[in-house]
Amino acid sequence: MRFGLRLFLGYFLIVAVAGWFVLAIFTQEVKPGVRRATEGTLVDSANALAGVAAADIADGDIGNGRLARALRGPPRPPIGANISGIVKNNMEFRVYVTDARGVVIFDSSGRDLGRDYSRWNDVYRTLRGEYGARSTRSKPDDENSSVMHVAAPVRLDGRIVGVLTVSKPNVAMEPVIRRSERKIMLAGGALLGAALLIGAVMVWWINRSIRRLVGYAEAVAAGEPARLPRLGSPELDSLGQAVEAMRRKLEGKEYVQAYVHTLSHELKSPLAAIRGAGELLREDPPPETRRRFIDNILAQSLRMQQLIERLLWQARVESRLRPDAQALDWPALIAETVDGKALAAARRDVEFDCRLAPAALNGDRLLLAQALSNLLDNALEFSPPGGVIELSGAPEEGGYLLRVRDHGPGVPDYALERVFERFYSLPRPDSGKSTGLGLSLVREVAQLHGGRAELLNHADGGAEARLWLPAG
């Protein structure tokens, strides 16, 4: 299972369990909470009505006194009270009064007058000066038929002469309870959905950062050029910096080993030629032979000088993390570089044919000029006398593609994949082997700018170098 999916499932499990516990606690507290609030209201009502009942008992007319008239009056129209969406039309409470013995002397419903209620908890405890209340089912087999009873003492001259009980069916509170539970569940569901959405966004963000880091590590492992991505998290940034530091150390070690090995190999031939010519010159050869040996020494010295200069350029490019970019008129820089090769082209009887569309790029002028120079040198060295080097450039794929085509022998198939390798060189028609660093530098410069370089055989003969750089 992928890391992002595991992370999301873990987050979902934590949120779901926590949400379930919270919702369960809330919903379990709704019914007791509503009933406690109702009980408090019944306590207030019972104590208020107990004062009226005391006056009626003192008058000896509890059956027809003010309490009876208020509760048994003529039929009332529907109340029509809209309580937060719940419509209440009728009074749903019952009032009964007992004497000091617990016998019912008044009942607003009229059904239990004269019955002995002295054993019911509300009457029994109240007559003893305690708080009396009970909840009893009106139908023993129906749990929804429970009725809440709350009592208050009826006092005359400080003595308890009776008990007044106010009762209310618990089913009357069910609409309020159901509505509250429904609201809690809806709010809980919305909260859970929002939490999951936030979690999904967070997991996506973390997963994207990890994918960027993995892509960077894979590119480094494959030896491809890669820039350390912005990961947007201090911890992931630290991890990325650690990977980048490790890459630099490993690359530096391999870089030095490869350079020392290849440089020693490349310098061996010119040094051997110089040494051989020097030993022969000590034997005092004829002037003609002496000149030939001296020319050989100069040629090999020039080759070593070019090799060292190219190595310095290569090291300068490879040590940079990003180019010193500035706005450039790319076709103008190409034309300027071509003009700089006019003398070398004239010596070889080669002409340039430039067809460049206008374009503006951002890049390191010095490095790009050197890369262009190397491309033109490579084309000149393989162009036959009287040949033409064709340069064409146009916007393509969100950037600018420059094509440099010569009419030489082309590139052998076995060398197409290696021409951009450091120190790899093909024999020139008239100058032999080169340093093998020209095209390698071109690719390094292109990759440093986020572009690419390639060398192909043209369908109509000759080779075609392509340099693509991104716009902006």
Q: Which CATH number do you get for residue 265?
A: 1.10.287.130
Residue 373 · residue 341 · CB < 8 Å: yes
- Residue 65 half-sphere exposure toward CB, CA atoms < 13 A: 20
Q: Average pLDDT of 163-178? A: 80
pTM of the model: 0.44
Looking at 277, 304, 319, the residue that finishes a domain is 319
Give me the phi and psi of 53, to 5 degrees please: -65, -35
Give the pLDDT confidence score for residue 392 in this predicted structure.
93
Q: Which residue has the tokens 């060189």?
A: 425
Instruction: Name the pairing type of β-strands 388-396 and 351-356.
Output: parallel
Do 11 and 129 have their domain in common? yes
Q: Which residue has the tokens 């082997």?
A: 433
Q: Is residue 451 in some structural domain? A: yes
Residue 116 · residue 123 · CB < 8 Å: no
Looking at 319, 353, 387, the residue that finishes a domain is 319
Distance CA 178, CA 182 (A): 6
Q: What angle do CA 469, 446, 411 make, to 5 degrees?
A: 105
Do 315 and 335 have their domain in common? no
Q: Is residue 395 in some structural domain? A: yes
Mean pLDDT lowest among 100-109, 206-215, 337-346, 372-381: 206-215
Mean pLDDT of the chain, nearest integer: 79
SS3 content of the chain, % helix, strand, coil (to 5): 55, 20, 25
Q: Is residue 194 in some structural domain? A: no
Q: Is residue 191 in some structural domain? A: no
Do 288 and 340 have their domain in common? no
* Confidence bin at 62 (pLDDT 50/70/90): confident
Do 275 and 168 have their domain in common? no
Residue by residue, DSSP assigns 101-130 as TSBEEEETTSSSTT-B-TTSHHHHHHHTTS
H or E segment to which residue 443 belongs: helix 438-448
Residue 332 · residue 368 · CB < 8 Å: no
CA-based radius of gyration for the chain: 50
Do 286 and 329 have their domain in common? no
Q: How far is CA 373 from the centre of its chain?
A: 44
Looking at 117, 147, 178, the residue that finishes a domain is 178
Do 302 and 350 have their domain in common? no
* Confidence bin at 79 (pLDDT 50/70/90): very low
Do 50 and 36 have their domain in common? yes
CA 458, 460, 463, 465 torsion: positive or negative? negative
* Confidence bin at 155 (pLDDT 50/70/90): very high
Could you give the number of structural domains in the chain? 3
Across-strand partners of 103? 116
Give the pLDDT confidence score for residue 123 in this predicted structure.
94
Identity of the amino acid at 378 = N
Across-strand partners of 16? none
Do 327 and 312 have their domain in common? no
Judged against a pLDDT cut of 80, whether residue 152 lies above it is answered with yes
Do 162 and 243 have their domain in common? no
Q: Average pLDDT of 197-206? A: 78
Residue 153 domain boundaries = 3-178
Q: Is residue 197 in some structural domain? A: no
Quick: pLDDT tens for 106-142.
Answer: 998 888 899 999 999 999 999 999 999 998 887 877 7
Do 233 and 122 have their domain in common? no
CATH code, 378: 3.30.565.10
Q: Is residue 313 in some structural domain? A: yes
Do 274 and 356 have their domain in common? no
CATH code, 130: 3.30.450.20
Task: Check residues 318 and 297 and name the one with the higher pLDDT.
Answer: 297
Q: Average pLDDT of 376-383? A: 89
Q: Is residue 57 in some structural domain? A: yes
Do 91 and 114 have their domain in common? yes
Q: Is residue 219 in some structural domain? A: no
